[in-house]
Amino acid sequence: MSRRPRNRPPVDLAGTTDLPVLLPAADSLARRAARERELGAALPRLDWRHGLVLLAVLLVSAGVAQAQAGAGREPVLEVLLRWMPVLLRGFLFNIVISFLAMAVGTLIGTWLGLMQISLLPPVRVGSWFVTQFFRNAPWLVLLFYCMFLLPFEFRIGGLVIPFPDWIKATIGLSLPVLANVSEIVRGAVNSIPSGQWEASESLAFNRRQILWMIILPQCVKRMLPPWMNLYAILTMATVLASIVGVSEMMTQAGRVLAAEDRPDLLIPIYSFVLLCFFVYCYPIARWTVALERRFQVKL
Amino acid sequence: MAWTPDQPLVSCKDVHKSFGAVEVLKGVSLDVAQGETICIIGPSGSGKSTLLRCINALVPIDRGSITVEGQEVHDPKLDKLALRRKVGMVFQQYNLFPHKSALQNVMMAPVTVLKQDRKEVEERAYRLLKKVRLSGKEQAYPGELSGGQQQRVAIARSLAMNPDVMLFDEVTAALDPETVKEVLVTIRELAEEGMTCLLVTHEMGFAREVADQIYFTDRGVIVEQGSPKEFFANAKDPRTQEFLSQIL
């Protein structure tokens, strides 16, 4: 029976351990820790192999579907190829919605975040409330609210401005985004050392000048990684718009399946949808990690 | 009542300040005449830095009065920005703007706050950086400068506003022993040129050399004051004696 010497730590600096619970994972954890030490930053949990797995699922499911369908049916990959323009046009719509929602959310969220650090208590409390409300409400509920609360057109005098579903969906998705951006801005401003405020106050800058010329320029770097992270999350959330009937990729996939009326296509088509999102969001995730590494706070 | 140069430039009378339950200043009075150099020394937590921050209204006071050139600093109607143009301050942690070069750090306030001509300010900034012996470092960013160099940029930045009085808050406390000297040389030159200076410092040798008056504070009150000669030679208060025996 071996006993651990009394003052030896459960896991030493090299990542080795003699604690039974840690043994199964010890080797891989040690390797990972070694690589992270080398890089000086945490490794991303997602990598390109996950994309390969998705691709493999797509191909295998296509093969299985093919085998089940039997002879005389159009090959699965050919069906997929035939519908690809429709699906990809749907995906483009997802991207457009994500861009617009992000733009609106960032613009309003930045102001909301600045209001959260206002010196006027009513402004501060009000913006805090709005931020917390939209940040802690389910995205889908907000989406439904916008769908059913907003009219389908606006009439100003004789002018009729149509308000299609996808615009309403964009507004609905921009609500949680603006709340998250608001928190990112507030957090970044608060993370700037108070000495910067004191120094600029002692140089007779007024509050507005301090904020716009000294504090916010220093915040941009800090805000970029969480902001991009938020964008990736938003992009993945755009498929929620399918539930309220916007013709984005998920909706189109459903329509394709309905038109083909072949249950064997289910897995291949949805795998393709997954793959598209992975291919789009993965580079953003990697880029975010790279930026985080570059902007790491040096103490 | 207009202020004339024969009156104290900075005058503190019975200044009280509490942070929560902790009373940091318990009735501090001191006067600084124009062109005078004052050193405030004392153990940590005795309220030295707080007093400096009160003088340029970074921290509001609870009771008493502080005047700069005859103007009450804690008058709610006071134009704080006008006051801060007259009072320059240099901090322990330099607090340079890290996203701006040394030259931009110096130029920013005169250009945006005083709305002075950019060309003229640029010339002055070059001159000031030369004065603090940083010629050639104009385009360097704070991250590329040593602590002592950053602190001298900070001094130049304050001087660019043409202040009437300069406050130095333990400006050498965060520096290496080798770079302390270059900053002290700069401050001594300023004092010799007739700039009114208020220094909070732990550099006793320097205080003895440049100060016209030395104030010793402990637990929120001024325990003792005097010219450097009498202060260091025969301190009367036991607290001062104890403090001096620990450092000297």
Please tell me which of the candidates A196, A205, A217 has its beta carbon nearest to residue B95.
A196
User: If you ran DSSP here, which 8-state letter would residue A99 be given?
Assistant: H
Collapsed DSSP state (helix, strand, coil) of residue A258: helix
- Tell me if B1 is assigned to some domain: no
Q: Is the confidence at residue B245, as pLDDT, over 70?
A: yes
β-strands B37-41, B221-226 pairing: unpaired
- Does residue B38 fall inside a structural domain? yes
Q: What is the pLDDT of residue B129?
A: 94
- Total domains present in chain B: 1
In angstroms, what CA-CA distances link B126 with B119, B120, B145?
A: 11, 10, 17
**Structural domains of chain A, with CATH:** 45-294 (1.10.3720.10)
User: A196 at the B interface (CB within 8 A)?
Assistant: yes
Give per-residue burial for A196-218: e unless 16+ CB within 10 Å, then b.
bbbbbbbbbbeeebbbebbbbeb
**Other beta carbons less than 10 A from residue A68's beta carbon:** 12
CATH number at residue B174: 3.40.50.300
Instruction: List the strands of the sheet with B87-90, edge to edge.
Output: B87-90, B165-169, B196-200, B37-41, B213-218, B221-226
Q: What angle do CA B38, B42, B43 make, to 5 degrees?
A: 155
Question: What HEC string does A15-50 produce?
Answer: CCECCHHHHHHHHHHHHHHHHHHHHCCCCCCCCHHH
Give the mutation candidate from B68, B83, B85, B97 for the A interface (greatest A CB count, under 10 A).
B97
Residue A1 has pLDDT above 50, yes or no: no
If pLDDT is split at 50, 70 and 90, which confidence band does A2 have? very low
Closest residue by Cα to residue A263 from A64, A59, A86: A64
Specify whether the CB–CB gap between B188 and B207 falls below 8 A.
no
Q: Among candidates B168, B170, B225, which has minimal Cα distance to B198?
A: B168
- Residue type for position A76: V
The verdict on residue B100 lying in a domain is yes
B64 belongs to a structural domain: no
Q: CA-nearest residue of chain B to A299?
A: B143
Nearest Cα neighbor of B188 from B162, B168, B158, B169 is B168
What pLDDT does A55 receive? Answer: 84
- Residue B126 in domain: yes
Between B21 and B234, where is the model more confident? B21
Q: Is residue B121 part of a domain?
A: yes
> Would the pLDDT of A299 be above 50?
no
User: What residues make up the domain containing B222?
Assistant: 34-57+86-247
Q: How many Å is the Cα radius of gyration of chain B?
A: 18
- Asked if the C-beta of A202 comes within 8 angstroms of chain B's C-beta atoms, the answer is yes
Report residue A120: phi and psi, to 5°: -85, 115
Q: Which burial class, exposed, middle or buried, applies to A274 when counting CB atoms under 10 A from its CB (0-12, 13-18, 19+)?
A: middle
Does residue B81 form part of some domain? Answer: no
Pairing state between β B213-218 and B37-41: parallel
Query: Picking from A24-33, A97-106, B34-43, B231-240, which range would have the lowest pLDDT averaged per residue?
Result: A24-33
- Nearest Cα neighbor of A130 from A81, A65, A180 is A180
Taking the C-alpha atoms of residue B137 and residue B114, their distance in angstroms, rounded to an integer, is 25
Q: How far is Cα B149 from Cα B171, in angstroms, rounded to an integer?
A: 12
- Residue B75 in any domain: the answer is no
Would you call A203 and B113 a contact, using CB atoms and an 8 Å cutoff? Answer: yes
- For an interface test with B, give the residue of A119, A194, A202 to mutate (most B CBs within 10 A): A202
Collapsing DSSP to helix, strand or coil, A280 comes out as helix
Average pLDDT, chain A: 85
Contact in structure between A22 and A276 (CB atoms under 8 Å): no
Contact list in A for residue B96 (CB cut-off 8 A) is 199
Interval A89-146: pLDDT, tens:
999 999 999 999 999 999 999 999 999 999 999 999 999 999 999 999 999 999 999 8
- Give the residue on A whose Cα is nearest the Cα of B52: A202
